[in-house]
Amino acid sequence: NEIGDVGIAALAESSRVTEMFQHVANLYLHNNFITDAGVVELAAAAINGSFEEVSWLTLNSNQIGDAGMLALAGAFSSGAWQAMRTLHLSHNTFGDRGITALMESAAAGALSKLATLWLDSNQATDASVGTITRALLSGAMPSLKVLLLDRPSPVHFSALKNACDARRIKLHADN
């Protein structure tokens, strides 16, 4: 599929005018050439009550940058997607700013049911690993069981691994 931002905008608009998407549980948008603009549309639809039962959101292998992550974090902070259990954001272009926004949203109580989070193969640095570690230590994402991300430097990896071990979170961190 290559629905891109135009397709996402159409999906978001359709979800606003019909209830047919109200009970969608899994939204797979893998490798669809979605950019920040498309994610902004999707997040706005979620904030307006669309896709409220989505528990699995796959946005991996797109072109989502920090602006898209800010939109997602805003949707989560607004109370959208409260049923979210799996969030797959691997292979995009966001970096530290996007991960910080997501972790701030989680620390504020969003993503409380999230069990699996994929953040590998993005532009994040070790600073993001510190942000994730602090969020986990603060109790954010209390249901998290699996975390996937790129292996950070040894110092940051050790702190993250300790935080994950303390919470019994399975950490997958590869180069």
pLDDT of residue 151: 84
In one-letter notation, the amino acid at residue 107 is: A
What pLDDT is attached to residue 175? 58
Cα–Cα dist 114/61, whole Å: 20
Element (DSSP H or E) covering residue 175: none
| pLDDT tens-digit map of 114-162 | 999 999 999 999 999 999 999 999 999 999 999 999 888 898 899 999 9
| pLDDT in the model for residue 1 | 67
Q: Please compute, for residue 46, the number of CA atoms within 13 A of its CA located in the half-sphere on the CB side.
A: 29
Buried b (16+ CB within 10 A) or exposed e, 77-89: beebbeebbbbbb
- Residue 150's DSSP bridge partners are 174
Instruction: Please state, in angstroms and rounded to a whole number, the distance separating the CA atoms of residues 110 and 103.
Output: 9
Report how far residue 64's alpha carbon sits from residue 41's, in angstroms, rounded to the nearest whole number. 13
pLDDT tens over the chain, length 175 residues: 689 999 999 999 988 877 777 789 999 999 999 999 999 999 999 999 999 999 999 999 999 999 999 999 999 999 999 999 999 999 999 999 999 999 999 999 999 999 999 999 999 999 999 999 999 999 999 999 999 998 888 988 999 999 999 999 999 987 5
Query: How far is Cα 64 from Cα 123, in angstroms, rounded to an integer?
Result: 11
Tokens 């069990």 belong to which residue? 115
For residues 157 and 173, what is the distance between their CA atoms, to the nearest angstrom?
Answer: 8
Strand runs labelled E in the chain = 26-28, 56-58, 86-88, 116-118, 146-150, 170-174
Question: CA 66: distance to chain centroid?
Answer: 11
